[in-house]
Structure 1
Amino acid sequence: MTTPAAPARRVPEAVHRRRWVILGVLMLSLLIVVLDNSILNVAIKTISTPAPTGLGATQSELEWAINSYTLVFAGLLFTAGLLGDRLGRKKVLIGGLAVFGIGSALAAFSGSPAELIGFRAVMGLGAAFVMPATLAVLMNVFERDEQPKAIGIWTGGVGLAIAIGPITGGVLLDHFWWGSVFLVNVPIVLFAVALMLWLVPDSRDPKPGRIDPLGVVLSVTGLVLLVYGIIKGGRLADFTDATVLSTVGAGLAVLAVFVVVEKRSDHPSIDVTYFRSKVFSAAIAAVALVFFALMGVTFFAVFYIQSVRGYSPLDTGLLLLPLAATQMIFAPRARLLVDRFGHRATTTGGLVMLAATLAAFALLDADTPIWFLEVVFFLMGTGMAHVMTPVSVVIMQALPREKAGSASALSNTFRQVGGALGIAVLGSVLSAAYRTDIEDELGLLPPGARHAAGESIEATLAAADRLGARGEALVGEAGDAFLHAMHVTALWGAGVAVAGAIVTALFLPGRTPASEGGDRNQELAPAAER
């Protein structure tokens, strides 16, 4: 009786033996990129405080400080993936980490909101080369049967970064100045680069695609115009303003031209033929909609915790811990539910849970028991974990292994675009609803100061502080106006999550018998090309 031969490995034996150590190094690189945004979440209130404590950033400047990073990140992800495929993922990953570290050091010593916005864009440039390379390397050091498990752990790394980021940010803000939340990235970058040089193998696509500079320019220009118009509408509390409509219209027109150019190009930034597969398109849509809801809600949750409830940055980081910890715990295990119930049921259930938790923010007021908020964060993180792992597997296995950089870039592009639009749209809804409620209460202020004071709760509280005893009543009015604005914004976010649940329920694959799982995965790649 002969023993069946073990299946031949496509991954070299030396790399296969250290694959889990390599995964740990990749997760460290991923942690740096995600950590920065999660740290920034607890620092936005401090940055909005007037100098010398902060930079005195307005709400729209805070949105741009987040979105300048996100838009550059999203706009360059696909090109970064292609450069990794062409030049080698390890080289691109190390170069991206270096740029990210330099941008972090510059951001730490920003002297104005405008400088912070610019240096955050430099950080986004570096991050764009880090994120797709980590997942592309992962796909080339794990055999196909281990890829779902590895992707689940990789996704859990995002939860780890989200968990430790706010706490780290809170500790730093309690002991140092606001710039420390960026400067902390530098030693981590140096450590990660050293490990990369030592442990991580290089890989590249034997038939890499060509770079598409026109596509990059059109996508970034269109997204910036669109986001600028949305944020402007929130700042004015008037989305029918001619400037707002013309800017949003111009952004949509440029993005429409981008789609046409990509369809006709023989080397597109985004190969739109992939979206002929309903499964692939639904998975990409789920990623974008989850981050639309999450980033928008996180933006206003920090102001609720710190400005309305009076908690410190460190307290805020600890209160956000359930949101992150559940992703870290459940993301690697979500594949077990997928095996039992299928991608459709798992992902749709996660989105329904996310929608319910977003809607629960409409129940919060100034004295809601804090344990209720913790339960909401726990369930929200659980819902997210059961969305991101299944859709990441679908996306990464929809394309051939040698196109791993492209698949990773597509996933992360739509994740970042979804997050940027979430901050812009939900942040603008929050700003517009807040201004509408607070305007009538700003009569104590000089006419020239009323518009600035009505932009955010922090601006109103700063104005009330300058009024002294006369401004005490304004503090309570600001809290009430913010709560109403938060309720409206949360329901918008819940609606977006419900839309995502409908998409995944209609188009993601259902339960696949274990014996057919390999065949099903193999079918996804041709489906993306039909």
Structure 2
Amino acid sequence: MNISAFSWRSIFGVNIPIGIIGIILGYYILPHKEPLFPDAKLDVPGILLFFIALSLLIIGLTTIEKNNPVMGSAFIIFSLACWALFIVQEQRTKEPLINLFLFKNRNYSVQSVGILLVQMGISGVLVIMPFYLEIVRAIPPDTTGLIVLALPVGMILTAPISGKMADVIGTKKPILVGFSLCAIAQFFLSTITADTRIGYIGLYLMLLGAGTGIAFSPLTTALMNESSVSDRAATSGLLRVMSNLGSTLGVAAVIFIAILAAGPKIAEVSSHLIPPSDLVFAFDFAFLFGMLISFAGLFLMLLVTPSEGTAHQ
């Protein structure tokens, strides 16, 4: 809606009052607790290497999206080098930013990747669906925003219920159900055409949001339960990292696949030589990729085994 009334840059201004309100509420509402380990030291070299490695990776993926694969690949290679240095640093320091020994626990490793895959699936759809609605269907931005809103609504409706279910039946079953629903929703999205009813598209998006909401909450709980009390702060940070990395990879992947599938037809549509509806198949390929991501998450979750840290599994 902001885009219809103002420029596209105005969408970033929405976060300013939200951030200010969050800071004020956090200051007055959140309880003050003494640190569990007041003598702990920050792993400054690890923090710097992590920041540089992640930044280079994001820049590299973004550069590849802009049809500059050579420069993008160079950034990614430098990123991999920084990741290697980060791993060496974390193994050498006494108080690492991320305790890499936690990844020797298969459940911890698998569920960390699960967080990444959930975010990859949903972020890709959130980015590419507006292009389909606006380019192929010629729907205005404000209406497009309302249609895409079905996805977070699905998450809001299911996430609290999923959390309660995980407390009763354990985390594994809700996660499997969530990934299954995501795969089904992505399959339905891959079948849309230039004439698919908007109501059906909204239903598919809500189903994807519901699956994401069902899977994400138990995933975070399961991952936290696999770590000791002293490692839970680092695990909480890892959750955010995997979520952000999944979002970045998901957006980069679906845009790359859609552009690759469309090929020269993008220029032909821009030149009005062919109708925008001829690009539908490119969006379908992108949604099929999302379905494969969900199936990968489903398969990985089958590898999770019962452990002392995850009750009721």
Tell me the TM-score normalized by structure 2.
0.88
1:254 to 2:85 alignment: no
Partner of 1:115 in structure 2?
none
The whole-number CA distance in structure 2 between the counterparts of 1:271 and 1:178 is 41
Partners of 1:205 and 1:402 within 8 A in 2: no
Partners of 1:231 and 1:427 within 8 A in 2: no
Flag the 1:327–1:338 CA change in 2: closer, same or farther, 3 A: same
Flag the 1:200–1:338 CA change in 2: closer, same or farther, 3 A: closer
1:500 to 2:297 alignment: yes
Partner AA of 2:283 in structure 1 = M
Partners of 1:231 and 1:425 within 8 A in 2: no
Partner of 2:172 in structure 1?
344
Flag the 1:430–1:480 CA change in 2: closer, same or farther, 3 A: same
Q: CA deviation at 1:286?
A: 0.9
Q: CA deviation at 1:386?
A: 1.3
Aligned with residue 256 of structure 2, among 424, 428, 441: 428
Partner of 2:221 in structure 1?
393
Partner AA of 1:269 in structure 2 = L
Aligned with residue 267 of structure 1, among 95, 99, 102: 95
The whole-number CA distance in structure 2 between the counterparts of 1:493 and 1:195 is 37
Partner AA of 1:203 in structure 2 = K
The whole-number CA distance in structure 2 between the counterparts of 1:188 and 1:235 is 31
The whole-number CA distance in structure 2 between the counterparts of 1:395 and 1:222 is 24
Aligned with residue 381 of structure 1, among 184, 206, 209: 209
Partner AA of 1:195 in structure 2 = L
Partners of 2:120 and 2:250 within 8 A in 1: yes
Aligned with residue 200 of structure 2, among 372, 381, 386: 372
Q: CA deviation at 1:412?
A: 1.1
Partner AA of 1:173 in structure 2 = I
Q: CA deviation at 1:210?
A: 2.2
The whole-number CA distance in structure 1 between the counterparts of 2:18 and 2:82 is 38
Q: CA deviation at 1:523?
A: 11
Partner of 1:491 in structure 2?
288
1:215 to 2:46 alignment: yes
Cα offsets for 1:366-422 (capped at 9, x unmatched): 111112211211211111111111111112333345654322211111111111111
Partner AA of 2:78 in structure 1 = A
Partners of 1:350 and 1:382 within 8 A in 2: yes
Q: CA deviation at 1:343?
A: 2.0
The whole-number CA distance in structure 2 between the counterparts of 1:204 and 1:423 is 39
Aligned with residue 121 of structure 2, among 282, 289, 293: 293
Partners of 2:168 and 2:312 within 8 A in 1: no
Name stretches of at least 5 consecutive residues in structure 1 with no aligned partner.
Answer: 1-169, 442-459, 465-470, 511-518, 525-530
Partners of 1:331 and 1:389 within 8 A in 2: yes
Kindly indicate which of the two structures has a greater share of residues assigned to helix: 1
1:224 to 2:55 alignment: yes
Aligned with residue 236 of structure 2, among 402, 408, 414: 408
1:353 to 2:184 alignment: no
Partners of 2:227 and 2:235 within 8 A in 1: yes
Partner of 1:313 in structure 2?
141
Q: Give matches, 1:95-494, under 5 Å.
A: 170=1, 172-208=2-38, 209-236=40-67, 242-339=70-167, 341-401=169-229, 403-438=231-266, 441=268, 461=270, 464=271, 471=272, 473-474=273-274, 476=275, 478-481=276-279, 483-494=280-291
Q: How many residues are treated as equivalent by the alignment? A: 312
| Secondary structure at 1:376 match in 2 | helix
* RMSD, matched Cα: 2.7
Partners of 1:205 and 1:403 within 8 A in 2: no
Percent same amino acid at aligned positions? 24
